Amino acid sequence: MEHHMRARTVCAAGISAVALALSGLSVGAASASSSSAPVAVAHSSTRVSGTPNTHIAAKCGTSEGTWTQDGITSQDGSPTNPSLNTWGATLIKCPTKGDRKINSLVVDGYPNQAMNINFNVNVYKKTKVSGLVQPNDGAVVCSYTALPGTYSATGVTGAQWLIPLSSTCKLPKKVGKKGAWVGVQAALDQAFGQWFWATKTASDVSDADWADTKNLFGINCISFSGTTPPDIGGTKLMQDCIFGGDIGEHDFILVVA
Protein backbone atom coordinates (compact mmCIF):
# COMPACT_ATOMS: atom_id res chain seq x y z
CA MET A 1 0.00 0.00 0.00
CA GLU A 2 1.37 3.37 -0.94
CA HIS A 3 1.02 6.24 1.52
CA HIS A 4 1.63 9.91 0.86
CA MET A 5 2.05 12.83 3.18
CA ARG A 6 -0.47 15.59 3.90
CA ALA A 7 0.83 19.12 4.31
CA ARG A 8 -1.47 19.95 7.22
CA THR A 9 -0.39 18.25 10.46
CA VAL A 10 -1.25 18.48 14.13
CA CYS A 11 1.55 16.95 16.23
CA ALA A 12 1.61 16.44 19.98
CA ALA A 13 4.80 17.08 21.89
CA GLY A 14 7.36 14.30 21.87
CA ILE A 15 6.27 12.53 18.67
CA SER A 16 8.73 12.50 15.80
CA ALA A 17 8.28 11.72 12.13
CA VAL A 18 10.48 8.68 12.71
CA ALA A 19 8.09 7.35 15.35
CA LEU A 20 5.16 7.83 12.98
CA ALA A 21 6.98 6.08 10.18
CA LEU A 22 7.70 3.13 12.46
CA SER A 23 4.01 2.88 13.26
CA GLY A 24 3.33 1.99 9.63
CA LEU A 25 0.93 4.89 9.12
CA SER A 26 1.03 8.15 7.23
CA VAL A 27 3.84 10.41 8.45
CA GLY A 28 1.79 13.42 7.46
CA ALA A 29 -1.11 12.54 9.72
CA ALA A 30 -1.90 14.21 13.02
CA SER A 31 -0.34 12.35 15.91
CA ALA A 32 -0.39 11.88 19.65
CA SER A 33 1.05 9.43 22.14
CA SER A 34 2.44 8.97 25.62
CA SER A 35 5.71 7.29 26.53
CA SER A 36 3.93 3.98 27.20
CA ALA A 37 1.03 4.09 24.71
CA PRO A 38 1.36 3.17 21.03
CA VAL A 39 1.55 5.95 18.49
CA ALA A 40 -1.87 7.00 17.16
CA VAL A 41 -2.65 9.23 14.20
CA ALA A 42 -5.75 11.30 13.49
CA HIS A 43 -5.95 10.56 9.77
CA SER A 44 -4.17 8.61 7.08
CA SER A 45 -4.17 8.85 3.28
CA THR A 46 -3.46 6.55 0.34
CA ARG A 47 -3.77 6.29 -3.44
CA VAL A 48 -5.42 2.87 -3.22
CA SER A 49 -9.07 2.74 -4.32
CA GLY A 50 -11.86 0.25 -4.97
CA THR A 51 -15.13 0.05 -6.90
CA PRO A 52 -18.33 1.61 -5.49
CA ASN A 53 -21.18 -0.74 -4.68
CA THR A 54 -24.79 -0.15 -5.66
CA HIS A 55 -26.89 -0.29 -2.49
CA ILE A 56 -30.42 -0.95 -3.70
CA ALA A 57 -31.88 -0.75 -0.18
CA ALA A 58 -30.14 2.53 0.72
CA LYS A 59 -32.26 4.98 2.69
CA CYS A 60 -32.17 8.68 3.54
CA GLY A 61 -30.37 9.58 0.32
CA THR A 62 -27.14 7.92 1.47
CA SER A 63 -24.50 6.60 -0.94
CA GLU A 64 -20.76 5.94 -1.04
CA GLY A 65 -19.90 8.96 -3.19
CA THR A 66 -16.39 9.96 -4.26
CA TRP A 67 -13.61 8.95 -1.87
CA THR A 68 -11.07 11.61 -0.88
CA GLN A 69 -8.36 8.90 -0.46
CA ASP A 70 -8.30 9.74 3.24
CA GLY A 71 -9.73 8.38 6.46
CA ILE A 72 -10.31 9.90 9.91
CA THR A 73 -9.76 8.07 13.20
CA SER A 74 -13.00 6.89 14.80
CA GLN A 75 -12.00 4.22 17.27
CA ASP A 76 -11.94 2.96 20.83
CA GLY A 77 -8.38 1.65 21.03
CA SER A 78 -8.64 0.14 24.52
CA PRO A 79 -7.35 -1.78 26.34
CA THR A 80 -3.96 -1.20 24.69
CA ASN A 81 -4.58 2.52 24.20
CA PRO A 82 -7.61 3.74 26.18
CA SER A 83 -6.61 7.33 25.35
CA LEU A 84 -7.59 6.66 21.74
CA ASN A 85 -11.34 7.23 21.93
CA THR A 86 -12.53 9.15 18.90
CA TRP A 87 -15.90 9.39 17.17
CA GLY A 88 -17.00 10.48 13.73
CA ALA A 89 -20.58 11.42 12.91
CA THR A 90 -22.47 12.25 9.73
CA LEU A 91 -25.80 14.04 9.22
CA ILE A 92 -28.66 12.22 7.48
CA LYS A 93 -32.18 13.32 6.61
CA CYS A 94 -34.96 10.74 6.41
CA PRO A 95 -38.20 12.41 5.27
CA THR A 96 -40.29 9.29 4.61
CA LYS A 97 -41.74 6.88 7.16
CA GLY A 98 -39.91 3.91 5.65
CA ASP A 99 -36.58 5.72 5.73
CA ARG A 100 -36.98 6.43 9.43
CA LYS A 101 -36.67 2.73 10.31
CA ILE A 102 -32.95 1.94 10.11
CA ASN A 103 -31.80 -1.68 10.35
CA SER A 104 -28.22 -1.67 9.13
CA LEU A 105 -25.25 0.51 8.26
CA VAL A 106 -22.51 0.18 5.68
CA VAL A 107 -19.28 2.08 6.27
CA ASP A 108 -16.18 2.37 4.13
CA GLY A 109 -12.84 2.47 5.90
CA TYR A 110 -9.28 3.25 5.03
CA PRO A 111 -7.92 0.00 3.51
CA ASN A 112 -5.40 -0.85 6.22
CA GLN A 113 -7.73 -3.35 7.91
CA ALA A 114 -9.07 -6.56 6.35
CA MET A 115 -11.01 -8.30 9.10
CA ASN A 116 -14.33 -8.32 10.88
CA ILE A 117 -14.56 -5.52 13.49
CA ASN A 118 -17.08 -4.66 16.19
CA PHE A 119 -18.59 -1.17 16.10
CA ASN A 120 -20.29 1.19 18.53
CA VAL A 121 -23.12 3.25 17.03
CA ASN A 122 -25.00 6.26 18.39
CA VAL A 123 -27.78 8.15 16.64
CA TYR A 124 -28.18 11.70 17.91
CA LYS A 125 -30.73 14.46 17.59
CA LYS A 126 -29.24 17.61 16.11
CA THR A 127 -28.66 20.91 17.84
CA LYS A 128 -27.28 24.29 16.83
CA VAL A 129 -24.22 25.60 18.67
CA SER A 130 -22.23 28.67 17.65
CA GLY A 131 -24.30 28.85 14.48
CA LEU A 132 -23.34 25.29 13.50
CA VAL A 133 -25.60 22.24 13.25
CA GLN A 134 -24.04 19.61 15.50
CA PRO A 135 -24.87 16.21 17.04
CA ASN A 136 -26.48 16.78 20.43
CA ASP A 137 -24.27 14.74 22.79
CA GLY A 138 -27.03 14.73 25.39
CA ALA A 139 -29.84 13.56 23.08
CA VAL A 140 -29.16 10.03 21.85
CA VAL A 141 -32.07 8.42 19.98
CA CYS A 142 -30.50 4.98 19.54
CA SER A 143 -27.32 3.48 21.00
CA TYR A 144 -25.56 0.20 20.26
CA THR A 145 -22.37 -1.35 21.64
CA ALA A 146 -20.03 -3.87 20.03
CA LEU A 147 -22.14 -4.59 16.94
CA PRO A 148 -20.45 -7.17 14.69
CA GLY A 149 -19.25 -5.61 11.43
CA THR A 150 -18.57 -7.97 8.54
CA TYR A 151 -15.62 -7.01 6.34
CA SER A 152 -15.55 -7.28 2.56
CA ALA A 153 -12.91 -6.08 0.10
CA THR A 154 -15.49 -3.99 -1.74
CA GLY A 155 -16.73 -0.43 -1.96
CA VAL A 156 -15.09 2.76 -3.11
CA THR A 157 -12.12 2.24 -0.76
CA GLY A 158 -11.82 -1.52 -1.21
CA ALA A 159 -12.55 -1.98 2.51
CA GLN A 160 -16.17 -2.02 3.64
CA TRP A 161 -18.10 -3.20 6.69
CA LEU A 162 -21.76 -4.23 6.94
CA ILE A 163 -23.13 -3.50 10.43
CA PRO A 164 -26.60 -4.97 11.15
CA LEU A 165 -28.24 -3.16 14.08
CA SER A 166 -29.32 -5.41 16.95
CA SER A 167 -32.73 -3.70 16.87
CA THR A 168 -34.40 -1.27 14.48
CA CYS A 169 -33.55 2.36 15.13
CA LYS A 170 -36.85 4.20 14.75
CA LEU A 171 -36.36 7.90 14.22
CA PRO A 172 -39.17 10.18 15.42
CA LYS A 173 -40.89 11.91 12.50
CA LYS A 174 -39.59 15.36 13.40
CA VAL A 175 -36.04 14.10 13.96
CA GLY A 176 -35.99 12.22 10.67
CA LYS A 177 -37.24 15.17 8.64
CA LYS A 178 -34.97 17.77 10.25
CA GLY A 179 -31.96 15.50 10.38
CA ALA A 180 -30.23 13.04 12.69
CA TRP A 181 -26.53 12.44 13.23
CA VAL A 182 -25.14 8.90 12.98
CA GLY A 183 -21.99 8.34 15.03
CA VAL A 184 -19.82 5.29 14.29
CA GLN A 185 -16.80 4.07 16.26
CA ALA A 186 -14.71 0.93 15.69
CA ALA A 187 -14.30 -1.02 18.94
CA LEU A 188 -10.82 -2.17 17.99
CA ASP A 189 -7.92 -2.69 20.40
CA GLN A 190 -5.05 -0.66 18.97
CA ALA A 191 -2.86 -3.75 19.32
CA PHE A 192 -4.49 -4.68 15.99
CA GLY A 193 -3.83 -1.25 14.47
CA GLN A 194 -6.05 1.73 13.81
CA TRP A 195 -9.36 2.07 11.98
CA PHE A 196 -10.10 5.18 9.93
CA TRP A 197 -13.56 6.11 8.67
CA ALA A 198 -13.18 6.99 5.00
CA THR A 199 -14.30 10.44 3.85
CA LYS A 200 -15.95 11.61 0.64
CA THR A 201 -16.41 14.89 -1.14
CA ALA A 202 -19.82 16.52 -0.76
CA SER A 203 -21.57 19.75 -1.55
CA ASP A 204 -22.10 20.66 2.10
CA VAL A 205 -19.10 20.99 4.42
CA SER A 206 -21.36 20.86 7.50
CA ASP A 207 -22.28 17.19 7.11
CA ALA A 208 -19.49 15.68 9.24
CA ASP A 209 -18.40 16.13 12.85
CA TRP A 210 -15.67 14.58 15.00
CA ALA A 211 -14.86 14.22 18.69
CA ASP A 212 -11.65 13.23 20.48
CA THR A 213 -13.22 12.33 23.83
CA LYS A 214 -9.91 11.88 25.69
CA ASN A 215 -8.28 14.85 23.93
CA LEU A 216 -5.45 12.57 22.83
CA PHE A 217 -4.50 14.89 19.98
CA GLY A 218 -4.68 18.06 22.07
CA ILE A 219 -7.04 19.80 19.64
CA ASN A 220 -9.72 20.31 22.34
CA CYS A 221 -12.57 18.98 20.17
CA ILE A 222 -13.55 16.78 23.11
CA SER A 223 -17.26 16.41 22.31
CA PHE A 224 -19.50 17.17 19.36
CA SER A 225 -21.46 20.07 20.84
CA GLY A 226 -19.63 21.05 24.02
CA THR A 227 -18.37 24.57 24.72
CA THR A 228 -17.16 24.29 28.32
CA PRO A 229 -13.40 25.01 28.34
CA PRO A 230 -11.18 23.43 27.27
CA ASP A 231 -13.79 21.75 25.02
CA ILE A 232 -14.32 23.67 21.77
CA GLY A 233 -16.12 20.85 19.93
CA GLY A 234 -19.32 22.89 19.72
CA THR A 235 -17.56 25.62 17.77
CA LYS A 236 -16.01 23.41 15.08
CA LEU A 237 -16.95 20.64 12.67
CA MET A 238 -14.71 17.77 11.56
CA GLN A 239 -12.60 19.62 9.00
CA ASP A 240 -11.93 22.57 11.30
CA CYS A 241 -11.01 20.30 14.21
CA ILE A 242 -8.50 18.16 12.32
CA PHE A 243 -7.31 20.28 9.40
CA GLY A 244 -8.05 23.83 10.49
CA GLY A 245 -10.36 24.44 7.54
CA ASP A 246 -12.06 23.07 4.45
CA ILE A 247 -9.75 20.87 2.38
CA GLY A 248 -12.46 18.90 0.56
CA GLU A 249 -13.14 16.18 3.15
CA HIS A 250 -16.77 17.01 3.58
CA ASP A 251 -18.40 13.86 4.88
CA PHE A 252 -17.93 10.31 6.13
CA ILE A 253 -18.92 7.44 3.84
CA LEU A 254 -22.11 5.88 5.22
CA VAL A 255 -25.03 3.99 3.72
CA VAL A 256 -28.08 3.31 5.90
CA ALA A 257 -30.68 0.64 5.11
Q: What is the model's pLDDT at position 204? A: 58
Q: What is the model's pLDDT at position 206? A: 59
pLDDT surpassing 50 at residue 31: no
Q: What is the model's pLDDT at position 197? A: 97
**How do the domains of the chain map onto residue ranges?**
48-256
pTM: 0.83
Question: Cα(216)–Cα(86) distance, rounded to whole angstroms?
Answer: 9
Q: What is the model's pLDDT at position 25? A: 34
pLDDT digits (tens, 9 = 90+) for 94-118: 999 999 999 999 999 999 999 999 9
Contact 211, 87 (CB under 8 A): yes
Q: What is the model's pLDDT at position 39? A: 74
Strands 75-76 and 180-187: parallel
pLDDT surpassing 80 at residue 132: yes
DSSP string spanning 62-99? -----EEEEEEE-EE-TTT-TT-BEEEEEEE---STTT
Question: Cα(223)–Cα(212) distance, rounded to whole angstroms?
Answer: 7
pLDDT surpassing 90 at residue 234: yes
pLDDT digits (tens, 9 = 90+) for 166-224: 999 999 999 999 999 999 999 999 999 999 999 998 765 558 999 999 999 999 999 99
Q: What is the model's pLDDT at position 46? A: 63
Question: Cα(125)–Cα(135) distance, rounded to whole angstroms?
Answer: 6
Question: Cα(115)–Cα(174) distance, rounded to whole angstroms?
Answer: 37
Q: What is the model's pLDDT at position 250? A: 75
Residue type, 73: T
